[in-house]
Amino acid sequence: MTIIINKASDIKASEITPRSVYIHRRQFMRQAFASSLILATDAMLPVWAKRWPDLQQSTYKTDDTITSLKDITSYNNFYELGTGKKDPANNASIFNPKPWSIAVEGECNKSGIFNLEDFIKPFALQEYIYRLRCVEGWSMVIPWVGFSLANMLKKFEPNSNARYVEFTTLLDKSRLPGQARRVLNWPYVEGLRIDEAMNPLPIMAVGLYGDVLPNQNGAPIRLVVPWKYGFKSIKSIVKIRFTETQPKTTWNELAPDEYGFYSNVNPDVDHPRWSQRTERRIGEPFWKPKRQTEIFNGYAEQVAHLYTGMDLVKNF
Ligand code: MTE
């Protein structure tokens, strides 16, 4: 199979909307709010200015127009809060993501159970602007707040048996009432090969648009793997386990012919029930033509080498 590697230079000029629009709006809003400080209350502040006003931009960004906060937080897949696209936002207040702890287990020297604050403390948070391509055929561009997954995993000193990393979502019907219905085999589990996890792209996200992660987006901490279909980006993580064997992941176990373990975004490999050639960017008008989906969601330069010699049709 031929892999067409799209470089940044291949992006059509018409698809490039200057990031300066977004940056400029932030600067403008900051100045505007600084000058009206006496009147400003916390509730009046724009959402991104509340938590980390001096957040550094990581080197990972895109010139694509960033999806609106409203769309990012009201069109979600989080089956633990309902299977409709609006359910997670409507049911978000039922889910209390505090207190929160994360267990690190398996093939590593420094396993343990950590409360969220201690878990996050060693890492400098940065903004990462990534495209998210859902297996269903839609996409968004999301300004995440997070830190490198690789840096985080290294802290736990995986040993030489650690060939994969498995992530697990909270299992608790009282906080995630969607788990009362057996639409999926709970808890939600995802996994990566260790070299994928150690690539600089994946992050642990704790926020978006400069504020903490909304419940419907996987509060308080989730994975983001931008070159894979969105279902690999598991939400509300309570357990990270280094394993020798490939983790049994939720969607792959449910329908192995439809959802592979790798799930790299690939326009040349159709889902058995629909094509993956194009995608609808959420927020764009319906009459606008769909976008061509790019191999590895446009991140081929950074990740194609991970799959050298692999048949990506077989290992979809
Ligand atoms: N994680 C959990 N625990 N439960 C889910 O249902 N849905 C996945 C992924 N992570 C899901 C999950 C899917 S299919 C997608 S496309 C993304 O979350 C959506 O993330 P977003 O709602 O923040 O855009």
**pLDDT tens digits for the chain (316 residues)?**
333 333 434 434 334 333 434 444 444 344 443 433 333 344 544 455 568 877 899 999 999 999 999 999 999 999 999 999 999 999 999 999 999 999 999 999 999 999 999 999 999 999 999 999 999 999 999 999 999 999 999 999 999 999 999 999 999 999 999 999 999 999 999 999 999 999 999 999 999 999 999 999 999 999 999 999 999 999 999 999 999 999 999 999 999 999 999 999 999 999 999 999 999 999 999 999 999 999 999 999 999 999 999 999 999 9
Tell me which residue has its CA closest to atom 3 in ligand 1.
235
Residue 312 within any structural domain of the chain: no
Q: Is 133 part of a structural domain of the chain?
A: yes
- Cα 59 to Cα 38, 118, 147, 219, 296, distances in angstroms: 35, 25, 12, 24, 18
**Residue 29 in domain:** yes
- pTM, to two decimals: 0.86
> What domain range includes position 242?
21-307
Q: Which residues pair with 126 in a beta bridge?
A: 56, 146
CA of 236 to the centre of ligand 1 (A): 10
Measured between alpha carbons, how far is 124 from 310 in angstroms, rounded to an integer?
Answer: 35
CA–centroid distance, 249 to ligand 1, in Å, is 13
CATH number of 95's domain = 3.90.420.10
Assess if residue 231 is contained within a domain.
yes
The verdict on the CB of residue 142 being under 6 Å from ligand 1 is: no
Q: Is residue 314 domain-resident?
A: no
Name the domain count of the chain.
Answer: 1
217 lines ligand 1 (CB under 6 A): yes
Atom of ligand 1 nearest to the CA of 140: 24
Q: How many whole angstroms from 138 Cα to the centroid of ligand 1?
A: 13
For residue 230 and ligand 1, the question of a CB distance below 6 A is answered with yes
Query: Quick check: CB of 77 below 6 Å from ligand 1?
Result: yes
